[in-house]
Amino acid sequence: MSDQQHNQAGFDAGPLPPAGTRPHETYVHGHHWRDRWEEADGAKLGMWLFVCTELLLFAGFFCAYAAFRLMYPDNWHEASRYYLDWKIGFINTGVLLFSSWTIVMAIRSLQLDKKFAAFIYLGITNACAICFLFLKITFEYIPKWQLGKLPGKYFNYPNYGPADPAVIDSTTLPEPAGPLVDAGHAITNGATDMVASAMNSGVMDVLPIAAKAGEEAHHVPMPHDHIFMSVYWISTATHGLHVFIGVVLITWLMFRVMGEHYGPRRYTMVENVGLYWHVVDLIWIFLFPLLYLV
């Protein structure tokens, strides 16, 4: 497609400014492509394929979630209510949704040749990403770490310490469908003590969980809480890693935008990072209700 046809194709970006000397205007497409728009189309198709791989990567976590939810339904329900605070997750969802809008606006600004607007929008997107990570680490990861709500074997059961195969096998409930109270008797007694002592020591006062601790002091830890926390940690941490990669990419884009490498004739990379960012957002939109709300 020529530049002319590209405009007629209805990008709604107004007529292209005449080619000048700025880097994005003098950009020469790869020798094996017909023109830059073909190249851009190819790049976008490639990015969509990559997006598919990202979704399938997280599909592994979702399947693990589904499998264990079926195996331990009530445990899953209780653990979600007791260990996770929907408020932080909710704020983070809003932050990410907003950032998805700002990165689209950055692309739009480039199409309209508004360099500074694009830079500002990318900056806001980046700020949102960093905000997401900050909230996640400060109000979720660190408190959970301090309380010993770690994945798997490092999970700290009240009175029992780390999840121990021997303890879980012999004294607790191997039957997920069985009556929980009887088999979990030993743990139940310890649980209230643990929460009470944590409150007394002041550890929990600063934590989001503290508000719930009062009204749910009678929460009964269940034998597979540590599996829930495993799924929580590995899926949110992998997602967090993707957010971090997004920060790196968007920062790089900000430098490139200031260097006038992108403009109305060349913005594929921004679009592709945008696609990536939407997927990171999308994955969170599924993780949030599954882990925090359901």
Partner 1 sequence: MSDHHAHYLAGKGSTGKTIMSWVWTYDHKKIGVMYLVAVLMMFFLGGLAALGVRAELFEPHYTEFVNDDGQVVADTKGYKGAGSDFVVPEGTTPEQRGVMFPNITVTTVETNPDTGERTEGTKTVTGNNIYNRAFTLHGTIMVFLFIIPAVPAALGNIFLPIMLGAKDVAFPKLNLWSWYIYLFGGMFAIFALIQGGVETGWTFYTPYSSTTEWGNVTAMVLAAFILGFSSIFTGMNFIVTVHKLRVPGMGWFDMPLFIWALYATSIIQVLATPVLGITLLMVVFERTFLIGIFDPALGGDAVLFQHFFWFYSHPAVYIMILPGFGIISEIIAVHCRKRIFGYRAIAFSSIAIAAISFLVWAHHMFTSQSPVANVVFSALTFLVAIPTAIKVFNWISTMYKSSIAWTTPMLYACFFLFCFTIGGLTGPPLATLAVDIHLHDTYFVVAHFHYVMMGGTVLAFVGGLHHWWPKFTGKVYNETWATVGGWIVFLGFNLTFFIQFFLGTQGMPRRYATYPTDIPAFEIMHKISTVGSWLLLLGFLIHLFVFLHSLLAGKKAARNPWGGLTLEWETETPPLEHNFEREPVMTHGPYDYDTARPVNADPALFPMPTDTPKAH
Question: Which parts of this chain interact with partner 1 (CB under 8 A)?
Answer: 30-33, 38, 41-43, 45-46, 49-50, 52-54, 56-61, 63-64, 67-68, 71-72, 150-154, 163, 165, 168-169, 223-224, 226-227, 230-231, 233-234, 238
If the CB atoms of residues 63 and 245 are measured against partner 1, the closer one turns out to be 63
CB of 147 to partner 1, least distance (A): 17
The closest alpha carbon to 250, from 87, 159, 163, 127, belongs to: 127
CB atoms within 10 A of CB 252: 13
Q: Are 128 and 99 in contact (CB under 8 A)?
A: yes
Tokens of 276: 């990536």
If the CB atoms of residues 168 and 258 are measured against partner 1, the closer one turns out to be 168
If the CB atoms of residues 57 and 177 are measured against partner 1, the closer one turns out to be 57
Tokens of 45: 């198709």
| Count, residues in the chain | 294
Q: For residues 205 and 214, give the distance between their C-alpha atoms in angstroms, rounded to a whole number.
A: 10
If the CB atoms of residues 163 and 194 are measured against partner 1, the closer one turns out to be 163
CB of 23 to partner 1, least distance (A): 18
Q: Are 29 and 41 in contact (CB under 8 A)?
A: no
If the CB atoms of residues 26 and 200 are measured against partner 1, the closer one turns out to be 26
CB of 112 to partner 1, least distance (A): 27
CB of 114 to partner 1, least distance (A): 29
CB atoms within 10 A of CB 125: 28
Report the run of H or E that residue 236 belongs to, with start and end.
helix 225-258
CB of 165 to partner 1, least distance (A): 4
Tokens of 107: 């692309």
CB of 149 to partner 1, least distance (A): 13
Helical segments of 137-224, H only: 142-147, 165-170, 180-183, 185-201, 209-215
If the CB atoms of residues 41 and 205 are measured against partner 1, the closer one turns out to be 41
Q: For residues 208 and 91, give the distance between their C-alpha atoms in angstroms, rounded to a whole number.
A: 13
